[in-house]
Structure 1
Amino acid sequence: MRCWAEINIENLYDNIRELEKITLKEKIMAVIKADAYGHGMMNICEALIKTGIKKFAVATVEEALEIRETNNEVGILILGPVENECMSKVSDNNIYFMITDFEEIEYIEKNRINVNVFLKLDTGMGRVGFQEDEISELTEKLKNCKYVNAVGIFSHFSSSDSDEEYTKLQEKRFKEMSENIMKEVHSVKYRHLLNSFGSLKYHDSEYDFVRMGIILYGGVTDEETAPYKFKPVMSLYAKISHIKKMHKDSFISYGNTYMAKKGDVVATVSIGYADGVRRDLSNKGYVYYKGHRCSIIGRVCMDQLMILIPEELADSAKKGDIVEFFGKNINVVEVANLCNTISYEILCGISNRVPRIYK
């Protein structure tokens, strides 16, 4: 293989054990949308079921149905929009989805679709959900519904990792809004609000589920999650395919953005932006190779990139050697920071043509 991603299931299990220091296992709702953040949804789902995890969150109808095809017992909640024409199929497969506006309620009632749903509240994320001034109308409609059975309520933090004051405001709004609904709509049994970083800071809050995403996969730093420690589940590797010692000063890669000097040892690595290595890393990223961080030089190409081999490795570097892009030695958060993005995007961006090796 020219490149691959190793998925360390033992690290996943260690992360579950760490999460149990924060909340009860039966409260964990594992977020496995977007192919489990690039880790392979079904493999991760099967591994988590073995640990006793019984609740899962996805983003699409297709993801939910794929899980249901292989397991009839776990709970599944779709966090993304469900198109009207899919509601019957989702309901028939005992899959929960969210209601975000009055039009969806009217459609379900008009078409007589028996559904168990979660009500999504907009407490400040500004994406989807019922707003504060709609709660009275919502409760009145639900009390008269014959087919919409609201079993739960949830919302989502927008800044739990960066803005404590705003997060507290969102939690305050959620408590008030959900309590007003539950006073009138007695079918509602469950509430959940906490996401990964929210669970670290507000784990004393009384909620029925805790949605665990990025920390489940270890896409965080120890500083962000102290005193808890989460291990990276994915590591990305590629092989060196070519090595040359420059006979003269010469440009490297497209656009002539890097000038290699005479005597430099340059290695070509078989991975590129089509595999998910961001082009942003051109001339500023690095890989881990034989105990050294080697700079990515020149622009990242679609299928390959070049690195500068340090002098102390010049005589030992060879074709077929393996370099690490992130994992045990380079935190994926470091890579994300270099790309001015977040670890979620880096992990989700590893393309399907990169084989996943489970160990």
Structure 2
Amino acid sequence: MEKRSVLKTKGKFDSRGSFRTWVEINQNAVKKNIAVFRKLIEAKGTPRTNSRKRFGAGVKLWSVVKSNAYGHGLVQFSKLAEKLGTDGFCVDSFIEGVRLRKEGIKKPILVLGPTLAELAKDAASKDITLSISNFEILKHLSQTKTPPKFHIKIDTGMSRQGFFLEDVPKLIKFLNSKFPEHRTSIIDRRLSGIYTHFASAKDLNYPTYTDRQFAKFEQAVKLFEKSGLSGGKSAGGKHLIKHVSATGGAMILWPLAIQRTRTPIRQLAEANKTRTHLKLENYCERSQKHPRG
């Protein structure tokens, strides 16, 4: 029988016996799942499985822990993931990012959801990276004395938030004019990434829409590369982080050129190699049988 290492989540009371329903997380299974993703993105195997050939060297694995880590416990799961070597964290709100910092999380944190402009100063002081999806918040950052690091989100078809592809030339012009520092400073201190969100990547039987989104994202990335904002030699060797996300898959960040052969989501969606690590338990005092009538 497998020896299980259970992650206990804290609630209103320290004792699990104070609750009638609780969630147990198998830490060994979490460790194995992270190892599976690591193997997929760092493998040096055949072209079919060689993710370095697909994505480029330096691929990083970030844990998406938004909305209480999807029920796993924001703080508890993040501390475990950091211990297991995750490269960074993605949260839904600035509040979640602050909570992780207060709990001692040191790895990079990216807020995926929108953030109020007045919180930009706090984000900078706590080293929390924001997602920028419109010109209004971008204008505010350009007027902030010490703006936080930020990633630009491109709306390629999710229709939730982000700049449209046709707005990218205007966006690049704005970044170059409102952030006049040399490019090394931009990459290091402010603009540090660009990403998009797939709408239906989990549907592997209908990849057409995902392919279309990926093609749009590639166009946006090429525009940034052409402008020099993507980093490289002009940015002191620093590269703009490029990544894609989707609820049905994983979030992968890589600092080099994106390979077109296949999207990261499909490359990593090998569910048969991962293991269930969350278990819902419920305490039942007794079961009663009632007479008919």
TM-score (norm 1): 0.59
Distance 1:5 1:172 in 2: 40
Is residue 153–residue 190 contact of structure 1 (8 Å, CA) maintained in 2? yes
**How far 1:65 sits from its partner (Å)?**
1.1
Distance 1:205 1:26 in 2: 10
Is residue 26–residue 54 contact of structure 1 (8 Å, CA) maintained in 2? no
CA RMSD of aligned residues (A): 2.8
Deviations 1:71-120 (A, max 9, x none): 36311100011101111100111111111111111112234342321000
Deviations 1:37-64 (A, max 9, x none): 1111111111111111121100111111
Amino acid in structure 1 at the alignment position of 2:289: K
- Local SS of the residue matching 2:200: coil
Greater relative contact order (CA < 8 Å, ≥ 6 in sequence): 2
**How far 1:7 sits from its partner (Å)?**
1.3
What is the correspondence of 1:322-341 to structure 2 with a 5 Å cutoff? none
Distance 1:144 1:130, change over 3 A: same
What is the correspondence of 1:168-317 to structure 2 with a 5 Å cutoff? 168-186=211-229, 188=231, 189-195=240-246, 197=248, 206=259, 225-226=269-270, 228-249=272-293
Distance 1:35 1:144, change over 3 A: same
- Local SS of the residue matching 1:21: helix
Distance 1:87 1:61 in 2: 10
Partner of 2:27: 9
Distance 1:164 1:245, change over 3 A: same
Partner of 1:108: 141
Deviates more, 1:58-67 or 1:144-153: 144-153
TM-score (norm 2): 0.72
Distance 1:87 1:227, change over 3 A: closer
**How far 1:34 sits from its partner (Å)?**
1.1
Greater C-alpha radius of gyration: 1
Distance 2:198 2:86 in 1: 23
Amino acid in structure 1 at the alignment position of 2:176: K
Amino acid in structure 2 at the alignment position of 1:20: R
Q: Does 1:84 align with 2:145?
A: no
**How far 1:226 sits from its partner (Å)?**
4.1
Partner of 1:156: 197
Distance 1:174 1:198, change over 3 A: farther
**How far 1:194 sits from its partner (Å)?**
4.5
Amino acid in structure 1 at the alignment position of 2:226: K
Higher strand share: 1
- Local SS of the residue matching 1:243: coil
- Local SS of the residue matching 1:245: coil
Distance 1:28 1:125, change over 3 A: same
Is residue 142–residue 179 contact of structure 2 (8 Å, CA) maintained in 1? yes
Amino acid in structure 1 at the alignment position of 2:138: I
Distance 1:187 1:132 in 2: 16
Q: Does 1:166 align with 2:184?
A: no
Distance 1:76 1:182, change over 3 A: same
- In percent, how many aligned pairs have the same letter? 25
Higher helix share: 2
Is residue 88–residue 109 contact of structure 2 (8 Å, CA) maintained in 1? yes
Distance 2:192 2:21 in 1: 45
Deviates more, 1:116-125 or 1:15-24: 15-24
**Gaps spanning 5+ residues in structure 1: where?**
216-224, 250-359
